[in-house]
């Protein structure tokens, strides 16, 4: 797995989905089924794609609890 910048983890709990069915929803709150769709069909290019792929890996591996302390910042 690629190294993840710590600022990306903060982005997962602060940034909203910029488009699509879940536009406006925090990236950390996206349903796993939506992230699975991207995994099958391809993540977008750029930082948003990296963030979505990171969130997918976090949810896939049951590591969502690691984001809880970051939500306080």
Task: Parse the chain into domains and list their residue ranges.
Answer: 6-72
Arithmetic mean of pLDDT, 7-28: 96
Sequence-distant (6+) residues with CB within 8 A of 48 are 18
Distance CA 47, CA 59 (A): 18
Whether residue 20 is predicted with pLDDT greater than 60 in this model: the reply is yes
Asked whether the predicted pLDDT for residue 70 surpasses 60, the reply is: yes
């Amino acid at each position: 797995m690629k190294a993840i910048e710590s600022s990306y983890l903060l982005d997962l709990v602060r940034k909203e989905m910029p488009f699509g069915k879940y536009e406006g929803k925090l990236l950390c709150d996206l349903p796993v089924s939506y992230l699975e769709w991207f995994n099958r069909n391809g993540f977008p290019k750029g930082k948003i794609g990296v963030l979505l792929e990171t969130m997918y890996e976090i949810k896939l591996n049951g590591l969502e609890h690691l984001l809880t302390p970051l939500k306080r910042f």
